[in-house]
Homo-oligomer: A and B are copies of this chain.
């Protein structure tokens, strides 16, 4: 256990074994941190809020929270959470294991996130979003929730397994993005997206089946489902299964 002498750690926080806490980081009371977790410098962990209903922040084993990040109390994360720098994560997030949250991302709270999900930099996840396993969301994309802002009615976006939202997309309230689909960069998505289809544009329209997109690396192999060729950062038992399915 290496806890910086310049950090401020509450004696009420529950901290696992082999935890590292960086300089100028604050760990508040209502926090449960697993084993082998590294929390870097300048973080604020366990920010109180009445919206947490008193629930603690739970960070699973083997996680890394990079510098300048802020987590509220009342959210829970499985093992192997990995964040970039200066992420902001509010209350009532229920996330599975091996979630990656990129630098500057802003997770507004009150959302469900599956296993092995990837948010790249500067992603904004509105309240009431439901994000299934293995989803990818790329930089500057936003999941909205208010159909006539401002209002008290929040209708979340749902993103199904393996779907990919490319850079700078805006997904309107209540939209469902189908399994294995791809939303092209710069799209405004107003309607549900069918599984295994590509949509793009403002507003987003059907472009083609994902199966018709080919790799641009000279192989001319299918680029989707992306699990055919992209395995970095996933557990071996999962990538072994992908290799057997796609025979690559």
Contacts and interface: CB of A to CB of B under 8 A. Distances in A.
Interface of A: 6, 8, 23-24, 26, 40-42, 44, 47, 67-68, 70, 84-86, 88, 103-104, 106, 108, 118, 121-122, 124, 136, 138-140, 142, 144, 147-153, 155, 164, 166-168, 170, 172, 185-186, 188, 201-202, 213, 215-217, 223-224, 226, 229-230, 232
Contacts of A121: 106, 108, 124
A167 B140 contact: no
Nearest to A124: B139
A89 to B, nearest CB: 11
A121 B140 CA distance: 12
Minimum-distance CB pairs A-B, first 3: A186-B188, A148-B223, A168-B170
Contacts of A68: 42, 44, 68, 70, 86
A106 B216 CA distance: 26
10 contacts: A23-B24, A40-B44, A85-B88, A149-B164, A150-B164, A152-B229, A153-B215, A153-B216, A168-B168, A172-B185
A136 B122 contact: no
Given A85-B70, A150-B118, A106 B106 contact: no
B70 A47 contact: no
Contacts of A217: 151, 153
Given A104-B104, A106-B122, 20 more contacts: A23-B24, A24-B42, A40-B44, A42-B68, A44-B67, A44-B68, A86-B88, A121-B124, A124-B139, A136-B149, A138-B144, A138-B149, A144-B185, A148-B215, A149-B226, A150-B226, A152-B229, A153-B216, A168-B188, A170-B186
Contacts of A223: 148, 151
A185 B104 CA distance: 21
